[in-house]
Amino acid sequence: MKDFTKEYFTMTESDAIEYAKRHLDFFQEDAELTCKEIGDGNLNYVFKVVDSKTNKSVIIKQAGPIARISDEFKLSPDRNRIESEILKLQYKLAPGYVPEVYKYDPIMNCCAMEDLSDHEMMRGALIKHKKFPLFADHISTFLVNTLLLTSDVVMEHKEKKALVKSFINPELCEISEDLVFTEPFYDCPRNDVTPGTGDFVKETIWDDEALKLETAKIKFEFMTNAQSLVHGDLHTGSVFIKEDSTKVFDPEFAFYGPAGYDIGNVIANLTFAYANALFTIENDVERQDYVAYLTNTIKDIIDLFNEKFSKAWDEHATEFVAKYKGFKEYYLGTVLRDTAAIAGHELIRRIIGLAHVKDITVISDEKARVLAEKICLTVGKTFILNRENMKTGDNFIDVLKSAEEQFLMEAK
Ligand code: SR1
Ligand code: MG
């Protein structure tokens, strides 16, 4: 029998059953447990353990020592502590929008949490062109609560600094520094560019010195602006969703960084869904309807974020200078600027860099996929260069519509 209390090892499905029986106070003595490893992310092992008698289930998530996507990434399994701790904190800050964590185990570097099998992964659902009319309301509340309430605007500054220290996440931040901010902007061997998009990437991204200068400024913002406790990887694969419920999970990239990092990732990943819809829905009426749904969702997220942030600031700000006339507007303006900058980076890095998104890779027609990629790159570049002017939902949508128009015209 394996000992889970002495030394870390990576678990198999049968180990996870043993672990659940002996170390989780969750199932009854006579439970008949089955287990399946269901992880499809880039880094971890996710075991779903089910009692076939009662259908009761739990998720055990274990951090492995190397990334699944590539053994070039050696990662401390301590990221599981970061993930467990931030999930517990966000569960309090944004009740209803985060799964419940039952246990964190620092020896096995795993945590046990609520099984959300009645939800589906949002990216997959969007690729199936499903609609979630409550998402904009849910995610904007999640973003305002987790980002504003962990900032110096609201928190006692020494307590906030203690959190900054506890969420120092150097290895996972290094992945983002490389994959999001550095590698997509030069001909890095780790990039993975669709052949038909190659010339466009060279001309419009790699050879554009003005763009590269802006990406350098934004990278340093990412590394030095300890503004809010961010999720750090809030793409649509980090959201479980159903009609009336949204749950944000997988925050192992969490650290104190610019608040716009999370909002920008949400906007960019909805833009990938938008590009997918443009090129995969054949029926004109259905396509226009779904594109309109995504357009409104993106617009609503920005506008609701603005509205709720402003209200939450008035209710919760404790910092003395937060009440100075004009400071809230200035601060919110910088968050939106960073949102556009990060949305731009996410849009570019998922097309050029190592880690792609299914919304785009599932577009089977090569010509259509290249067009979708060019739209994403153009929107991303415009977000970065025009970030100071991006303040409302309409500002974001205008950039999207004009890139779409440009490339659909060219395609005709
Ligand atoms: C090596 S990990 C590649 C990507 O997967 C994660 O979800 C992050 O987005 C990271 O950049
Ligand atoms: Mg992940």
164 C-beta neighbours (distance < 10 Å), count? 15
251 C-beta neighbours (distance < 10 Å), count? 27
C-alpha pair distances (Å), 316 with each of 86, 93, 322: 20, 12, 10
- The reported pLDDT for the residue numbered 40 is 80
Listed in sequence order, the DSSP H helices in 29-149 are: 79-93, 122-127, 135-148
Is the same domain home to 31 and 91?
yes
- The reported pLDDT for the residue numbered 262 is 99
pTM, full prediction: 0.97
- The reported pLDDT for the residue numbered 202 is 98
Contacts 24+ apart (CB under 8 A), 384-390: 384/211, 384/214, 384/215, 384/218, 384/340, 384/341, 384/344, 384/345, 384/348, 385/210, 385/211, 385/214, 386/340, 387/214, 387/337, 387/338, 387/340, 387/341, 387/344, 388/337, 390/336, 390/337, 390/339, 390/340
- Side chain identity at 202, as an amino acid letter? K
- The reported pLDDT for the residue numbered 73 is 83
Is the same domain home to 212 and 149?
yes
Q: Which of residues 80, 96, 113 is at a domain's end?
A: 113
In a domain, 4, yes or no: no
* Side-chain half-sphere exposure of 407, counting CA atoms within 13 A: 23
In a domain, 103, yes or no: yes
Q: Kindly give, in sequence order, each residue whose CB lies less than 8 Å from that of residue 343, ignoring residues fewer than 6 positions away.
A: 263, 264, 265, 267, 268, 271, 380, 383, 396
For ligand 1, whether the C-beta of 261 sits within 6 Å is no
Is the same domain home to 198 and 141?
yes
- Which ligand number lies closest to the CA of residue 233? 1
C-alpha closest to that of 299 among 140, 124, 123: 140
- The reported pLDDT for the residue numbered 39 is 87
The residue contributing the CA closest to ligand 1 atom 2 is 42
- Which ligand number lies closest to the CA of residue 176? 1
- The reported pLDDT for the residue numbered 292 is 98
Return the CATH number at 78.
3.30.200.20
- Which ligand number lies closest to the CA of residue 39? 2
Is the same domain home to 40 and 153?
no
Is the same domain home to 358 and 384?
yes
Share of the chain above pLDDT 70, in %: 100
- The reported pLDDT for the residue numbered 411 is 79
Is the same domain home to 108 and 128?
no
Kindly report, residue by residue over 383-401, the tens digit of the pLDDT.
999 999 999 999 999 999 9
Cα 55 to ligand 1 centroid, rounded to whole Å = 32
C-alpha pair distances (Å), 47 with each of 5, 53, 70, 191, 392: 19, 18, 21, 31, 41
Is the same domain home to 37 and 167?
no
Kindly report, residue by residue over 354-380, the tens digit of the pLDDT.
999 999 999 999 999 999 999 999 999
Cα 41 to ligand 1 centroid, rounded to whole Å = 8
- The residue segments making up the domain with residue 137 are 120-411
Is the same domain home to 178 and 65?
no
Kindly report, residue by residue over 101-132, the tens digit of the pLDDT.
999 999 999 999 999 999 999 999 999 999 99
- Side chain identity at 31, as an amino acid letter? A
Share of the chain above pLDDT 90, in %: 94
Cα 79 to ligand 2 centroid, rounded to whole Å = 11
Distance, CA of 84 to CA of 104 (rounded, Å): 6
Question: How many domains, in total, are found in the chain?
Answer: 2
- The reported pLDDT for the residue numbered 409 is 86
Q: Kindly give, in sequence order, each residue whose CB lies less than 8 Å from that of residue 163, ignoring residues fewer than 6 positions away.
A: 150, 155, 229, 256
Is the same domain home to 95 and 127?
no
In a domain, 400, yes or no: yes
Kindly report, residue by residue over 228-242, the tens digit of the pLDDT.
999 999 999 999 999
pLDDT of 42 strictly over 80? no
Residues 171-193 have a mean pLDDT of 97
Both tokens assigned to 350: 């998922």
Distance, CA of 391 to CA of 153 (rounded, Å): 20
Kindly report, residue by residue over 67-95, the tens digit of the pLDDT.
877 788 878 888 999 999 999 999 999 99
Handedness of CA 258, 263, 268, 269 (dihedral sign): positive
Distance, CA of 242 to CA of 285 (rounded, Å): 24
Residues 302-315 have a mean pLDDT of 98
Phi, psi of 362 (to 5 degrees): -80, -5
Secondary element (H or E) of residue 211: helix 209-224
- Which residues partner with 36 through β-bridges? 48
For ligand 1, whether the C-beta of 73 sits within 6 Å is yes
In which band, very low, low, confident or very high, does the pLDDT at 282 lie, cut at 50, 70 and 90?
very high
Is the same domain home to 136 and 104?
no
Kindly report, residue by residue over 321-351, the tens digit of the pLDDT.
999 999 999 999 999 999 999 999 999 999 9
* Side-chain half-sphere exposure of 232, counting CA atoms within 13 A: 27
Q: Kindly give, in sequence order, each residue whose CB lies less than 8 Å from that of residue 179, ignoring residues fewer than 6 positions away.
A: 349, 353, 354, 355
Return the CATH number at 305.
3.90.1200.10
Between 41 and 225, residue with greater pLDDT: 225
Distance, CA of 264 to CA of 143 (rounded, Å): 11
Give the ligand 1 atom nearest the CA of 43. Answer: 2
Is the same domain home to 207 and 246?
yes
